[in-house]
């Protein structure tokens, strides 16, 4: 063989070898992490080299450990279903988002127990739901910024090993923070605490060198402790000036603080004056994109004020009208009977009853498998952004953006539990709806897509239930 050809072949082989080494396959299933959508193995997934998981939908079906000196990055746009598995961090875990387009659900995050292997977790611009964040001890530090943490357990802040911060986040229906510090600074700033599941939002057990800095936060649940000390801990102390306590009534604020003024078994008093008389402008609760006086985190249509009002002054809020296939600019809809049950829409609303919903997801007045059916199925699979709406919105659609479509799907709620087993599932309810919209009927409609615990099982009953979601427009 010509020596130059040999050299070329060797160079190609070396290049291919280098490329293969660059592809990380953490769970050993033959699919690289950059495109793997199901992360699972019989035991723990051990991350031994810097790894970037795929942006998109990922289901985690095994516990994960990140080795010391190694970084696992979950990029912007990732929708990760943790399935209550744990990520134990000896190295670094980076969760990155843009406009909270990264969503992590039912993931337990923790540090390892070796003081010589200090972990680090960074969460930025993401939505964290369920699961837990530090339910026990472990060695590490963290930075959490611009994120929504909803129904998350834990927050046992056990002696961070390096400077840590919690800045501009919303904590909703989550555990309060229990904090122990020993000389390492912790910054808690511009956060919003809403209905913590514990009796406190922030509790200090120990702060030996007074390194906790906490300011410009909003504590919006006036019926429980905002800031407090742990009883019987001699090094428990806190300064909580320049925070907003959801009121300007100092007697109410005083009741939201637990310290030596309440019981001498608490080591010290908490200084809280001066306090803010309104939320600090940098706290996320102030965000109201559409100016409808409903903050974005509570607004089903954060970019469109139309749906937060009663535009036609018929006594029915726009959101309710949209949910049930009515026109929020047409006052005559209040007297209509869209589900033909003999009760007008306004009376249904006032009575709190539920009329038939609408499978017209994109709002163009038609029920189409390749638009409405596909959008609903993608929504059930928890797709979002462009992945939800790409090539599936009709050209004459009223609702075109991913946010509007997602809200339309969310508003259907349990109405799309077609087989009546109490769970909305893409592979049962979603598929049977899609088949129906493709005009399949009888046994071919229900074969292999009805859950084993279904209460609605026959083709006739399934057809009737779906037809109830297609009111006359």
| pLDDT, tens digit (0-9, with 9 covering 90-100), for 296-341 | 555 555 665 555 567 777 777 776 676 566 777 878 878 877 666 7
Assess whether 281 and 169 both reside in one domain.
Answer: yes
Which pLDDT score is estimated for 267? 92
pLDDT confidence of 382, banded at 50, 70, 90? confident
Which pLDDT score is estimated for 362? 86
Expressed as residue numbers, the domain containing 277 is 155-286
**Which one has a higher pLDDT value, 188 or 412?**
188
| 3-state class percentages of the chain: helix first, strand second, coil last, to nearest 5 | 25, 25, 55
The answer to the question of residue 15 being in a domain is: no
State which H helix or E strand residue 12 sits in. helix 3-22
- Comparing CA positions, the residue from 121, 228, 101, 111 lying closest to residue 177 is 228
The answer to the question of residue 216 being in a domain is: yes
Whole-number Å distance between alpha carbons of 405 and 389 = 8
The answer to the question of residue 24 being in a domain is: no
Percent of the chain with pLDDT over 90: 53
Of 286, 311, 341, the position where a domain reaches its end is 286
CA 243 centroid distance within chain: 26
| CB-CB contact of 269 with 235 (8 Å) | no
Q: Does residue 19 have a pLDDT over 50?
A: no
Assess whether 266 and 351 both reside in one domain.
Answer: no
The total of structural domains in the chain comes to 3
Assess whether 44 and 125 both reside in one domain.
Answer: yes
- Comparing CA positions, the residue from 257, 154, 152 lying closest to residue 214 is 257
Assess whether 180 and 126 both reside in one domain.
Answer: no
Q: What is the pLDDT of residues 203-261, one digit of tens each?
A: 999 999 999 999 999 998 888 999 999 999 999 999 999 999 989 999 999 999 999 99
- Comparing CA positions, the residue from 218, 93, 92, 198 lying closest to residue 152 is 198
Whole-number Å distance between alpha carbons of 472 and 331 = 17
Residue 145, strand partner residues: 124, 167
Of 139-148, 241-250, 393-402, the poorest mean pLDDT is in 393-402
Rounded average pLDDT over 59-70:
95
Mean pLDDT estimate for the chain: 85
Which pLDDT score is estimated for 303? 60
Assess whether 316 and 442 both reside in one domain.
Answer: yes
User: Where are the strands (E) in 173-281, listed by range?
Assistant: 177-181, 186-189, 192-194, 200-207, 212-215, 218-219, 225-229, 257-258
The answer to the question of residue 234 being in a domain is: yes
Assess whether 350 and 403 both reside in one domain.
Answer: yes
pLDDT confidence of 103, banded at 50, 70, 90? very high
Q: What's the Rg (C-alpha) of the chain?
A: 27
Looking only at the bridges linking them, the beta strands covering 177-181 and 156-158 are parallel
Which pLDDT score is estimated for 35? 79
Whole-number Å distance between alpha carbons of 155 and 145 = 15
Cβ within 8 Å of residue 37, ≥6 positions away: 54, 56, 57, 58, 59
Whole-number Å distance between alpha carbons of 260 and 231 = 9
Which pLDDT score is estimated for 338? 66
Cβ within 8 Å of residue 221, ≥6 positions away: 193, 194, 195, 196, 201, 246
Q: Which residues of 227-263 are buried (b: 16+ CB within 10 A; e: fewer)?
A: bbbbeebebbbbbbebbbbbeeeeeebebbbbbeebe
Q: Is 197 left (phi over 0), alpha (psi -120 to 50) or beta?
A: alpha
Whole-number Å distance between alpha carbons of 188 and 173 = 18
Cα Dmax for the chain: 92
Whole-number Å distance between alpha carbons of 51 and 71 = 6
Q: Does residue 20 have a pLDDT over 50?
A: no
Whole-number Å distance between alpha carbons of 197 and 178 = 13
Of 50-54, 167-171, 365-369, the poorest mean pLDDT is in 365-369
Assess whether 198 and 246 both reside in one domain.
Answer: yes
Whole-number Å distance between alpha carbons of 394 and 87 = 41
Which pLDDT score is estimated for 364? 80
Most confident of 25-29, 39-43, 267-271, 412-416: 267-271
Assess whether 391 and 438 both reside in one domain.
Answer: yes
The answer to the question of residue 22 being in a domain is: no
Question: In 3-state terms, what secondary structure has residue 95?
Answer: strand
Whole-number Å distance between alpha carbons of 338 and 316 = 14
Query: Half-sphere exposure (CA, 13 Å, Cβ side) for 24?
Result: 18
The answer to the question of residue 180 being in a domain is: yes
Assess whether 432 and 304 both reside in one domain.
Answer: yes
- Comparing CA positions, the residue from 425, 440, 429 lying closest to residue 465 is 429
Assess whether 170 and 281 both reside in one domain.
Answer: yes
Whole-number Å distance between alpha carbons of 334 and 327 = 10
Question: In 3-state terms, what secondary structure has residue 32?
Answer: coil
Of 236, 253, 286, the position where a domain reaches its end is 286
Assess whether 237 and 330 both reside in one domain.
Answer: no
How many Cβ atoms sit within 10 Å of the Cβ of residue 319? 19
Token pair recorded at residue 198:
């514990």
Token pair recorded at residue 19:
């490329």
The answer to the question of residue 12 being in a domain is: no
The answer to the question of residue 169 being in a domain is: yes
pLDDT confidence of 12, banded at 50, 70, 90? very low
Of 270, 286, 302, the position where a domain reaches its end is 286
- DSSP codes joined into one string, 400-463: -SHHHHHHHHHHHGGGG-TT-SS---IIIIIHHHHHHHTT--THHHHTT-S-TT-S--SHHHHH
Assess whether 213 and 348 both reside in one domain.
Answer: no
């Amino acid at each position: 063989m010509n020596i130059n050809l040999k050299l070329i072949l060797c160079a190609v082989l070396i290049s291919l070898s280098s490329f293969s080494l660059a592809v990380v396959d953490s769970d050993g299933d033959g699919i690289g992490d950059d495109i793997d959508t199901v992360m699972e193995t019989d035991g723990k997934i051990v991350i031994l080299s810097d790894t970037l998981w795929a942006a998109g939908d990922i289901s985690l079906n095994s516990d994960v450990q990140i080795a010391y000196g190694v970084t696992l990055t979950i990029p912007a746009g990732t929708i990760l279903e943790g399935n209550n598995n744990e990520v134990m961090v000896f190295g670094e875990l980076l969760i990155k988002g843009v406009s909270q387009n990264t969503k992590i659900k039912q993931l337990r995050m923790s540090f390892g127990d070796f003081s010589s292997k200090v972990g680090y977790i960074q969460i930025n611009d993401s939505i964290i739901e369920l699961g837990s964040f530090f339910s026990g001890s472990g060695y590490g530090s963290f930075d959490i910024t611009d994120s929504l943490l909803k129904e998350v357990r834990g927050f046992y802040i056990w002696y961070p090993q390096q400077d840590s911060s919690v800045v501009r986040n919303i904590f909703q229906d989550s555990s309060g923070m229990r904090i122990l510090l020993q000389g390492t600074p912790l910054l808690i700033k511009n956060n919003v605490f809403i209905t913590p599941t514990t009796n406190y939002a922030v509790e200090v057990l120990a702060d030996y060198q007074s390194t906790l800095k906490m300011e410009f936060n909003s504590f919006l649940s006036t019926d429980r402790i905002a800031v407090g000390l742990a009883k019987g801990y001699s090094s428990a102390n806190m300064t909580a000036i320049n925070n907003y306590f959801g009121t300007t009534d100092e007697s109410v604020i005083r009741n939201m603080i637990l310290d030596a003024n309440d019981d001498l078994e608490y080591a010290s008093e908490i200084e809280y004056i001066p306090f803010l008389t309104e939320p600090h402008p940098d706290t996320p609760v102030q965000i109201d994109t559409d100016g409808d006086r409903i903050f974005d985190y509570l607004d089903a249509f954060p970019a469109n004020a139309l749906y937060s009002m009663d535009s036609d002054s018929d006594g029915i809020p726009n959101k309710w009208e949209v949910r049930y296939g009515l026109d929020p600019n047409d006052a005559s809809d209040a007297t209509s009977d869209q589900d033909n049950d003999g009760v007008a829409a306004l009376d249904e609303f006032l009575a709190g009853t539920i009329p038939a919903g609408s499978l017209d997801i994109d709002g163009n007045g038609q029920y189409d498998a390749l638009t409405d059916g596909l959008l609903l199925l993608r929504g059930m699979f928890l797709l979002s952004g462009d992945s939800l709406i790409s090539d599936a919105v009709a050209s004459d659609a009223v609702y075109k953006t991913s946010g509007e479509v997602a809200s339309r799907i969310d508003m259907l709620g349990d109405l799309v539990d077609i087989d009546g087993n109490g769970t909305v599932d893409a592979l049962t309810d979603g598929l049977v709806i899609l088949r129906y919209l493709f005009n399949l009927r009888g046994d071919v409609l229900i074969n292999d897509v009805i859950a084993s615990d279904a209460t609605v099982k026959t083709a006739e009953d399934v057809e009737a239930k779906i037809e109830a979601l297609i009111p006359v427009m």
